Amino acid sequence: MTTSDDYKALESKYYMQVVNRMPPVLVRGEGTRVFDNDGKSYLDFTAGWAVLNIGHNHPAVTEAIRDQAGKILQMSNLFYTTPQLPLAKILIDNSDVDRVFFCNSGAEANEGACKVARKWGKTKLDGAYEIITTFDSFHGRTQAMMAATGQPAYQEKWTPLMPGFVNVAYNDVQAIKDAYVEGRTCAVMLEPIQGEGGVNIPSENYLKDVMDFCHEKNILFMLDEVQTGMGRIGTLFGYQQFTGVEPDVMTLAKALGSGAPLGAFLTKEFCSVLEPGDHGSTFGGNALTTAAGAAAAKVIVDENIPELAKETGAYFQGKLNGLAEKYDFITEVRGMGLLIALQMNKEIAGATVTAALPEGLLINAVRPNMIRFMPPLNATRDEIDEAIAILDKVLAVTGA
């Protein structure tokens, strides 16, 4: 039998060392649990980084992949293939946008959205090209999306950054208005809730006010829903949590493929400006990944998984607030649905994540003083209670 140490030696020898990996060698998942090479079970409250919204190895997704693998895996988008179509229909029928293009990742989705914005600026705004984004955002790791991402840690090693993006404060409408330049600004791109930035929730009217300003200036209002989409924060799409908000352009990935690499950018009809030859992707809309995505999306919609996430998230936040009452170093619990952060006044998040591993819990230190939780949306209350018990045990040590 190949041991965990054998696998780690192979990784050390052959894989580019760009990730500080956690110790378990994970080989199988089922629902909210994963199992390592030695047979140990873990509650997975990372869900593949907010990807596995209906859990590991969901039977509907597994069956769809198995079935599609026996038919056709990949064809050029020059030809019609069928799995794209039911997924496209579910997304459009349940949102306020009209057209979709499938790609492979969140970064690619955001790149595509920015191409839409740039063409909008070129054809409608006398060549305007600049896109306003915010500090503490995260839009991807391509050269362009690092410029869009308003975090120095993702930018400073790669300067000079690509031109065409300006970063301003999040949750500050005036900052966007001040950054707008007529004839230069073509769009604003925001996350409804900043995930990688620390689960930052905007004020109630922020998105609506930004949208209204964009429409006043005839620039595009674009929402990066890579992390908040597909039910994560209590509605199918995150913008639906905010009254009167509709994106002109929206991006999706992560949970869209339920583990298969799949992204998308979607537009309203009025700004669907891309024409044949303007954009493309060899694997975009791949038959296998869209089959998985369609199966997952059907489960999420038919079983009202977003409402379950809303209810379970409220229960989870209540339990976390109980820990906050017990430990005075916990300063805030915040989130929507099952995208939740626990903030502390001590930089013990990394130690807490490490200590939780042998106890059988996978969580994420999104900041040195902050833990992020993003479990599958169909995690049970018993699993929430189990995670809370482990976290309680661990915090008693790391916070001492």
Active site positions, annotated? 138, 224, 254
C-alpha to C-alpha distance for 264 and 129, rounded to whole angstroms: 22
User: What is the residue type of 112?
Assistant: G
Q: Which position has the token pair 């030695």?
A: 38
Q: Which residue has the tokens 């895996």?
A: 73
Q: Which residues contact 95 (CB under 8 A, 6 or more apart)?
A: 236, 237, 250, 266
Rounded (to 5) percent helix, strand, coil in the chain? 40, 20, 40
Q: How many helices (H) and strands (E) does the chain have?
A: 12, 15
**Rounded Cα–Cα distance for residues 89 and 171 (Å):** 33
CA distance 47 to 36: 15
Rounded Cα–Cα distance for residues 300 and 44 (Å): 19
- 224's tokens: 């990066």
d(CA 105, CA 108) in angstroms, rounded, equals 5
Pairing of strands 165-168, 364-367: unpaired
Beta-carbon count within 10 A of 281 CB: 15
CA dihedral 98, 130, 233, 328 (to 10 degrees): -170
Which of 299, 234, 287 has its CA nearest to residue 90?
299
Report the C-alpha gap between 62 and 299 in whole angstroms.
12
